[in-house]
Amino acid sequence: MKPLFPIRYFRATLQHYPKTIVALCFCVFLVAGMELYFSCKYGRTTPHESFVIDFHTYWRNRPHATFYRVDENKEQIRYCYNAQGFRTRNPSAQIPLVKTADTKRIMMMGDSTTVGHGVAFENSYAEALNRRFGDQVDVFSCAVSGFSAVQCRIQLEQEIGQYEPDLITVAVNFNDRRSVLDPGEMDSEHFFYYTSRVRWFLDILSRHLACVNALMQYKIQSLQKQLEQNQPRLDELICRVPPPPFAKNLERICDVAGQKGIRVVFIGLGDSFQFFENIFAYREANNLEDKIQFLQTERNKKNSSTYGLATLLLVDLIRQNGIEAAGLDPDSLLNSGQTVVSAFGGFLIQPDWIYREVMQTVAETKGIPYFDFVSYARGFDEIDNGGETIFIRGDLVHLNAKGHQLLADGLYPILADALDHL
């Protein structure tokens, strides 16, 4: 009886190509052994609990996701995203594509502040506004943590327009950034288009191949060690997008919204002006020389808040004498360890008040409302002098529950007036 065809074929191949077969078997056993080893050492990657890869905006909120985080008071906060990827009270809540004739709709676009990072859903400013407007106006947050102006514009084109909002709010600037190593516009649509596809491919490989996952984990660990052992240098930092491209992205948001008949309101947020206790001692210094001396004293104490103080000093220098003020040389300062980067994200040179001014200028040019929350908040003495905190403790950007309520209180009359003029 003749052996089965596959067996006969294998025998013939083995006779003619014995070395090739042995090499292939060796490679198979080697790969299998490596997979087993790296699976035991690093495990398998699991999908991110709150994000999924998006081919247009690189990432978006994971639909039907529910997870928990601990807030500044060590209490658990529940995050829920519905089927559309919007944060809601529960995952089953849906936003109908078609609104009723007697109801107006506001959709709030932005980053993690608008998502309500660090606060319960009912304490976010979007939900506070929803309660205040009542049944006649629906307010939804479609924000995604980490989003920039260009991602908001793409999201408006690809998704938000179909919900027929009467008005959108846009609160961005923290995440409009690029690598100083890359002269190209990493904040452009092309960057997100190609990067999202590469990341999707690597994500699939790392989830199914332990070798690829191990390589990515090794790269991440190497970068972490490098950051721990070395001072940040100019060629290693992420910097903010220059103001002109940022303004261009904001203008395109206005143009896209105008084509869809949607009203726009800009919200100017900024780095916390309460993120360290000794900010008030810094303000009491009489002149720049005293402030520089105070900064150096705090740096000698190895106080982590000196990054924020350096940012304030940089802002004072620019406001007083311009970018070349007082011998300010970013290269020599960074190389000597006298870092002048922002306290948030390693942003270089451009303080966040510049971007609020850009938002205000674009708003005036386009004839749309602009709400400068930082100026509004600092108009309250108890907040400006540190008596009442509106930012999450230890956080440089995100608002606490009081901050969200304050933002909702200041924003409400502007939104109500904009809806009245539709």
Report how far residue 372's alpha carbon sits from residue 360's, in angstroms, rounded to the nearest whole number: 8
Query: 149 forms bridges with which residues in the sheet?
Result: none
The answer to whether 162 and 97 are in contact (CB under 8 A) is yes
Per-residue model confidence (pLDDT) at position 236: 42
Spans of the chain below 70 pLDDT: 1-19, 21, 38-39, 41-47, 177-189, 219-240, 271-283, 288, 291-292, 295-352, 385-386, 394-396
108-128 pLDDT per residue, tens: 999 999 999 999 999 999 999
User: What's the distance, CA 359 to chain centroid?
Assistant: 18
The stretches of 322-400 forming alpha helices (DSSP H) are: 330-335, 352-366, 373-377, 381-384
124-177 pLDDT per residue, tens: 999 999 999 988 899 999 999 989 898 899 999 988 988 989 999 999 877 776
Per-residue model confidence (pLDDT) at position 217: 73
Per-residue model confidence (pLDDT) at position 412: 96
| Cβ neighbour number for residue 346 with a 10 Å cutoff | 18
Per-residue model confidence (pLDDT) at position 270: 77
Instruction: From residue 293, give the alpha-carbon distance in Å to each of 131, 285, 286, 307, 335.
Output: 49, 9, 11, 15, 20
**Of 189, 163, 359, whose CA–CA distance to 261 is shortest?**
163
Per-residue model confidence (pLDDT) at position 323: 46
Per-residue model confidence (pLDDT) at position 127: 94
Tokens of 412: 């409400």
Per-residue model confidence (pLDDT) at position 391: 83
Which pTM was predicted?
0.74
**Of 97, 78, 98, whose CA–CA distance to 89 is shortest?**
78
Q: For 269-407, where are the E strands, in sequence order?
A: 370-372
The answer to whether 155 and 57 are in contact (CB under 8 A) is yes
Report how far residue 250's alpha carbon sits from residue 265's, in angstroms, rounded to the nearest whole number: 11
Instruction: From residue 242, give the alpha-carbon distance in Å to each of 15, 90, 323, 365.
Output: 67, 39, 14, 19
